[in-house]
């Protein structure tokens, strides 16, 4: 038995797949079996595996400056260059960048910065954060409290109240609509619920509203048309900051450079990035704030003598070097435009499965999607547990493809952005076989009603 405590795993079940190497969009186990990596690892390996340019960038930086911190005024050029590059790319005005190691700590950092900011401007009561049901924002104590998934809460006794975390509706029409409710009526209802929550709590107590432009672990929820426009109008009305968690959706994943631009979010006040920032080759994250927020942090830090937040590996030079090279490749090779084209193809091919007896809803945008499996296609009745989704995931693996069962019985697809249309065809072929086998499994076990 391994000495590892495995993350986000059933600790009673042993690990069953030992990955040994990767090449392009494929990974290989220790028996030499090939798998199409249809999840880009954990939504992150955008340029696939064994990209020699990224390996060379890491090696070159390792040989020059393998480590240096950024505490106490120390810095390095590669970190400065990456911050400037990100500030010029994101849909924010004069963004300031703080580096971390993961999406979780990036969100954790912004919770602290929000409190620091509102204390600095004399509004210490303005600390609450509205997050959505079925959201995912990380697993630290603070970021897990933002997350809206029960599996990340159970047994952890998270301090929701102490952190001021509020919860509002998930914008998922398929699961959240009332009888005979149109999409526009659904949007009106849940955004009205948001406004009523703000009024109940008091706008003067609410700092920010956090969203994933398109969700990931909660089932790849793409909000209906008009949702974000109404949300932003409400937030502006009550002077509440808009926080875009782009840990998954940034850098071409949704068919646009950033998820905000893909779904109509205009100039967020705060943003978090990770995953595809370095194509996952080196851990690195970024927490971004507007210049208006940043300027209010300066004098309090001067008064104390230090801005008392930072990680040993904030702005790690190797991470910064690999991230810079990743961004260079995105631009040079037109990766975002290519992902938009192949993403449209992927979405179309997935829709070809919509008449399968198990398929309730197919949703997605660009190069991220989910196929939700249901117990009753006519009513959309969900399966009572995750057995069916897990079977489908394992069957895909048996056939040589890695996907992930999320949100009960939805299969997620988030392949590397370099995937070809013929490899998408391979993905769909395997998925169709797995759905047929899963239907037999579900019928034999009386899951179909």
**CA separation for the pair 291, 447 (Å, rounded):** 54
Predicted pLDDT at 14 = 77
Strands 165-168 and 19-23: unpaired
Neighbour count for residue 423 (Cβ, 10 Å): 19
**What's the whole-number mean pLDDT along residues 169-185?**
97
As a CATH number, domain 334-444 is 3.90.1150.10
Tell me the CATH number for domain 54-332: 3.40.640.10
Would you say residue 338 has pLDDT above 80?
Answer: yes
Examine domains 54-332 and 334-444 and report if their fold is the same.
Answer: no
Q: For residue range 227-240, list pLDDT tens digits in order.
A: 999 999 999 999 99
pLDDT at 287: 98
Q: Where are the alpha helices (DSSP H) in 33-148?
A: 40-43, 52-64, 77-89, 103-120, 141-146
The mean pLDDT of 72-94, rounded to a whole number, is 96
Tens of pLDDT, residues 97-123? 999 999 999 999 999 999 999 999 999
pLDDT band at residue 1 using 50, 70 and 90 as cut-offs: low
Hey, where are the domains in the chain? 54-332, 334-444
Pick from 409, 336, 327, 329: which is nearest to 366 by CA? 336
Q: Identify the CA nearest to 228 among candidates 266, 184, 172.
A: 266
CA 402 remoteness from chain centre: 18
Mean pLDDT, range 16-30, rounded to an integer: 96
The whole-number pLDDT of residue 400 equals 98
Contact 201, 128 (CB under 8 A): yes
Residue 299's pLDDT band (boundaries 50, 70, 90)?
Answer: very high
Residue 332: pLDDT above 80? Answer: yes
175 pLDDT higher than 90: yes
Q: Residues 349-396: pLDDT tens digits?
A: 999 999 999 999 999 999 999 999 999 999 999 999 999 999 999 999
DSSP 8-state secondary structure symbol assigned to residue 384: S
Query: How far is Cα 272 from Cα 289, in angstroms, rounded to an integer?
Result: 9
Strands (E), 146-284: 165-168, 206-211, 241-245, 270-273
Does residue 16 surpass a pLDDT of 90?
no
Q: Give the pLDDT score at 2.
A: 83
Q: What is the CA radius of gyration of the chain?
A: 22
Q: Which of 308, 272, 284 is nearest to 71 (CA)?
A: 308
Coil, strand, or helix at residue 130? strand
The answer, yes or no, to whether residue 15 has pLDDT greater than 90, is no
pLDDT band per the 50, 70, 90 thresholds, residue 146:
very high
Summarize pLDDT for 402-422 with one digit per residue, the tens: 999 999 899 999 999 999 999
Residues ≥6 apart with Cβ < 8 Å to 31: none
């Amino acid at each position: 038995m391994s000495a590892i405590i495995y993350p986000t795993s059933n600790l009673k079940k042993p690990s069953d797949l030992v990955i040994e190497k990767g090449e392009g969009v494929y990974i290989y186990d220790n028996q030499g079996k090939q798998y199409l990596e249809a999840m880009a690892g954990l939504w992150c390996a955008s340029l696939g595996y064994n990209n020699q340019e990224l390996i060379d960038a890491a090696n070159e930086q390792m040989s020059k400056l393998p480590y240096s911190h950024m505490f106490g005024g120390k810095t390095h050029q590669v970190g400065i260059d990456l911050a400037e590059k990100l500030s010029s790319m994101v849909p924010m005005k004069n963004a300031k960048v703080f580096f971390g190691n993961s999406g979780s700590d990036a969100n954790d950092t912004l919770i602290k910065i929000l409190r620091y900011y509102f204390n600095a401007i004399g509004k210490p009561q303005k600390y609450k954060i509205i997050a959505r049901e079925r959201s995912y924002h990380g697993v630290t104590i603070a970021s897990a409290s933002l997350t809206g998934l029960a599996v990340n809460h159970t047994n952890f006794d998270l301090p929701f109240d102490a952190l001021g975390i509020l919860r509002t509706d998930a914008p998922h029409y398929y699961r959240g609509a009332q009888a005979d409710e149109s999409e526009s009526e659904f949007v009106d209802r849940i955004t009205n619920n948001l406004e009523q929550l703000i009024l109940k709590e008091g706008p003067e107590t609410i700092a920010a509203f956090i969203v994933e432009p398109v969700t990931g672990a909660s089932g790849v929820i793409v909000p209906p048309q008009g949702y974000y426009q109404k949300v932003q109008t409400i937030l502006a009305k009550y002077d509440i900051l808009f926080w875009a968690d782009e840990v998954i959706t940034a850098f071409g994943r949704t068919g646009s450079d950033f998820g905000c631009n893909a779904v109509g979010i205009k100039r967020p006040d705060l943003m978090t990035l990770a995953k595809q920032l370095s194509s996952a080759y080196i851990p690195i994250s970024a927490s971004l704030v507007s210049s208006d927020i940043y300027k209010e942090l300066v004098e309090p830090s001067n008064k104390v003598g230090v801005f008392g937040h930072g990680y040993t590996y904030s702005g790690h030079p190797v991470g910064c070097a690999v991230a810079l090279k990743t961004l260079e490749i995105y631009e040079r090779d037109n990766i975002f435009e290519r992902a938009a084209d192949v993403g449209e193809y992927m979405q179309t091919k997935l829709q070809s499965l919509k008449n399968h007896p198990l398929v309730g809803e197919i949703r997605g945008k660009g190069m991220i999607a989910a196929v939700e499996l249901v117990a009753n296609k006519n009513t959309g009745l969900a399966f009572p547990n995750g057995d069916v989704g897990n079977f489908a995931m394992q069957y895909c693996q048996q056939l040589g493809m890695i996907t992930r069962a999320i949100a009960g019985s939805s299969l997620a697809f988030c392949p590397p952005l370099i995937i070809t249309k013929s490899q998408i065809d391979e993905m769909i072929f395997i998925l169709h076989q797995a759905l047929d086998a899963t239907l037999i499994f579900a019928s034999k076990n009386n899951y179909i009603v």
